[in-house]
């Protein structure tokens, strides 16, 4: 009896041991294969767009394609935003559908200024800016012209390239605090606005929240805003607020603006 159960116990211990070894080998084999594969690529190997997507804040401010605010084409905006209601086969009542010239004719006749005004401020069931608050005026005009011109119109909207050259000029000259305010309002406010609900981010005009940060000094805050920063309590400041299209000077100007509104003097 005794020896039999001993024997059994030894047998099952041996089975367990062998099973364990088999599993261990299988796991090692898998790990070796995984290490040899490209499953974990190094930081250098990840593309810029992958990085941008990874650090993209919840507000989805670049609409996921990394195109900087102000530089998006009418087609890009239409395909992300306006298409929800203005697609050729959309079921949204009253929204003039793209390529339905009959629906657009009377609207186009109002002229771009009126269409822009209605799209900017909202018009009946048309939400202001189609609900995409970060669209610039020029971008909105481009989206309108894109739709109208697919639908029998020939509206002329400000071109993307005109903006791009303007931006290059701006980054060559020192960026003023006014530009910092603009950048703040379009990018940083989502998380740093005085009444933003994002946890752990210091809010503008909340001097108590900014004081310990300001103490770190200007260069540290600039670097953290440019490169991103993980706070000790798990807060995550994304590099450039998630918009890698911003120039370094624009980010510095936004930091300066926030700090100076919040008890600092950069």
Residues that bind ligand HEC (CB under 6 A): 57, 77, 81-82, 84-86, 92, 94-96, 107, 110, 114-115, 118-119, 123-127, 129-132, 140, 143-144, 183, 187-188, 190-192, 198, 200-202, 213, 216, 220-221, 224-225, 229, 231, 233, 235-238, 240-242, 251, 254-255
- What are the phi and psi torsion angles at 229 (to 5°)? -155, 130
Query: What's the closest the beta carbon of residue 161 comes to ligand HEC, in angstroms?
Result: 20
Query: What's the closest the beta carbon of residue 234 comes to ligand HEC, in angstroms?
Result: 7
> Three-class SS string for 135-162?
CCHHHHHHHHHHHHHCCCCCCCCCCHHH
Query: What's the closest the beta carbon of residue 205 comes to ligand HEC, in angstroms?
Result: 14
How many CA atoms lie within 13 Å of 123's alpha carbon, on the beta-carbon side?
12
Of the pair 75, 173, the CB lying nearest ligand HEC is at: 75
3-state helix, strand, coil in the chain (%, to 5): 60, 0, 40
User: In angstroms, what CA-CA distances link 46 with 34, 51, 60, 164, 244?
Assistant: 17, 7, 20, 26, 15
Of the pair 48, 193, the CB lying nearest ligand HEC is at: 193
**DSSP assignment, residue 47?**
-
Of the pair 52, 86, the CB lying nearest ligand HEC is at: 86
Of the pair 35, 197, the CB lying nearest ligand HEC is at: 197
**Calpha distance 112→105 (Å, rounded):** 12
Of the pair 36, 245, the CB lying nearest ligand HEC is at: 245
In the numeric block, which tokens belong to residue 47?
């593309």
Query: What's the closest the beta carbon of residue 244 comes to ligand HEC, in angstroms?
Result: 11
Query: What's the closest the beta carbon of residue 139 comes to ligand HEC, in angstroms?
Result: 8
Query: What's the closest the beta carbon of residue 162 comes to ligand HEC, in angstroms?
Result: 19
In the numeric block, which tokens belong to residue 30?
């898998």
In the numeric block, which tokens belong to residue 131?
């609900």
Residue pair 88/98 in contact (Cβ under 8 Å)? The answer is yes
Of the pair 175, 221, the CB lying nearest ligand HEC is at: 221
């Amino acid at each position: 009896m005794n020896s039999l159960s001993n024997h059994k116990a030894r047998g099952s211990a041996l089975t367990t041991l062998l099973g364990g070894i088999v599993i261990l080998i299988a796991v090692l084999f898998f790990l070796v294969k995984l290490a040899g594969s490209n499953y974990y690529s190094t930081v250098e190997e990840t593309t810029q767009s992958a990085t941008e997507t990874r650090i993209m804040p919840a507000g989805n401010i670049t609409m996921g394609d990394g195109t900087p605010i102000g530089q998006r084409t009418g087609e890009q905006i239409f395909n992300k935003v306006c298409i929800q209601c203005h697609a050729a086969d959309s079921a949204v009542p009253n929204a003039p559908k793209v390529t339905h010239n009959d629906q657009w004719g009377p609207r186009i006749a109002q002229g771009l200024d009126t269409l822009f005004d209605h799209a900017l401020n909202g018009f009946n069931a048309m939400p202001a800016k189609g609900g995409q608050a970060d669209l610039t005026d020029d971008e909105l005009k481009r989206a309108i012209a894109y739709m109208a011109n697919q639908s029998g119109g020939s509206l002329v909207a400000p071109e993307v390239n005109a903006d791009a050259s303007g931006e290059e000029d701006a980054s060559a000259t020192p960026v003023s605090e006014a530009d910092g305010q603009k950048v703040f309002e379009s990018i940083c406010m989502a998380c740093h606005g005085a009444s933003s609900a994002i946890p752990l981010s210091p809010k503008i005009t909340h001097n108590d929240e900014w004081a310990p940060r300001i103490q770190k000094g200007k260069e540290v805050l600039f670097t953290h805003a440019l490169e991103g920063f993980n706070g000790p309590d798990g807060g995550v400041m994304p590099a450039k607020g998630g918009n890698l299209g911003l120039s370094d000077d624009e980010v510095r100007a936004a930091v300066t603006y926030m700090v100076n509104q919040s008890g600092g003097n950069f």
